[in-house]
């Protein structure tokens, strides 16, 4: 599990040190490559764990969208981004147990009739999550957190945007420990990109 955490932290550090301004560089073929500026935002997720137990969760999120090409260094569709997230949350069932997570997702914008005003998107990825709570048979407090979602981004004239999405989370240790009962959750996510 340590190599995965180190990779995620190194990737986040690399993106943080990359200038936020668009720049042009030469690729190995000699063509000029232009990157879009990074986009930053915040989000609020509210949802419920539905398997194996039922309990509510609220998560505050910081996010950064980066051109996929800037990190992976090969040509990709213009609509593809990498999304890095840092999350802090709490259960809402009276236990008041916290969680912290870091995630990396691929986010793909779909075509829309008025793409300058609104664009649907799909996102999927994985992260690491530490929870103060454990369900029976969960085993570890530190787990993997694969997730997927779909939503719509509503763009404003000033370049900022509001978004709404539905997201499914899974939490498990990937059989790194003998007890590996997963936790599945569904969330409504509201976001603001500036």
Contact 180, 171 (CB under 8 A): no
Q: Which of 44, 38, 55 is nearest to 87 (CA)?
A: 44
Band of residue 11 on the pLDDT scale cut at 50, 70, 90: low
pLDDT higher at 171 or 21: 171
State which CATH number among 2.40.160.40, 2.40.33.10, 2.40.160.20, 3.40.50.1820 fits the domain covering 2-18+38-193. 2.40.160.20
More confident position, 84 or 173:
84
Residue 39 confidence (pLDDT) above 60: yes
Q: Which among 49, 65, 74 is positioned nearest to 194, based on CA atoms?
A: 65
In this prediction, residue 8 has a pLDDT band, given cuts at 50, 70 and 90, of low
Indicate whether 144 pLDDT > 80.
Answer: yes
CA distance 18 to 131: 31
Q: How high is the pLDDT of residue 131?
A: 94
**DSSP annotation string for 83-152:** EEEEEEEEE-SSS--EEEEEEEEEEEEPP-TTTTTEEEEEEEEEEEEEES---TT---SEEE--EEEEEE
Residues facing 119 on adjacent strands: 153
Q: Please give the model's pTM, rounded to 2 decimal places.
A: 0.81
Mean pLDDT of 8-28: 46
Q: How far apart are CA 119 and CA 65, in angstroms?
A: 15
Range from 29-33, 111-115, 156-160 carrying the lowest mean pLDDT = 29-33
């Amino acid at each position: 599990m340590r190599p995965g955490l180190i990779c995620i932290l190194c990737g986040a550090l690399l993106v943080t040190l990359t200038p936020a301004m668009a720049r042009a560089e030469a690729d190995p073929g000699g063509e000029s490559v232009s990157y879009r500026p990074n986009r930053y935002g915040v989000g609020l997720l509210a949802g419920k764990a539905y398997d194996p137990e039922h309990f509510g969760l609220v998560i505050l999120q910081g996010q950064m969208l980066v051109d996929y090409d800037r990190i992976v260094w090969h040509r990709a569709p213009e609509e593809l981004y990498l999304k890095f997230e840092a999350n802090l949350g709490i259960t809402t069932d009276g236990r008041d147990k916290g969680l912290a997570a870091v995630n990396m997702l691929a986010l793909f914008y779909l075509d829309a009739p008025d793409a300058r005003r609104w664009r649907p998107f799909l996102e999927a990825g994985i992260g690491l999550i530490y929870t103060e709570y454990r369900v029976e048979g969960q085993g570890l407090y530190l787990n993997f957190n694969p997730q997927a979602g779909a939503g719509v981004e509503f763009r404003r004239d000033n370049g900022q945007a509001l978004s709404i999405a539905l997201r499914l989370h899974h939490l498990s240790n990937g059989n790194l420990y003998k007890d590996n009962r997963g936790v599945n959750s569904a969330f409504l996510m509201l976001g603001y990109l500036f």
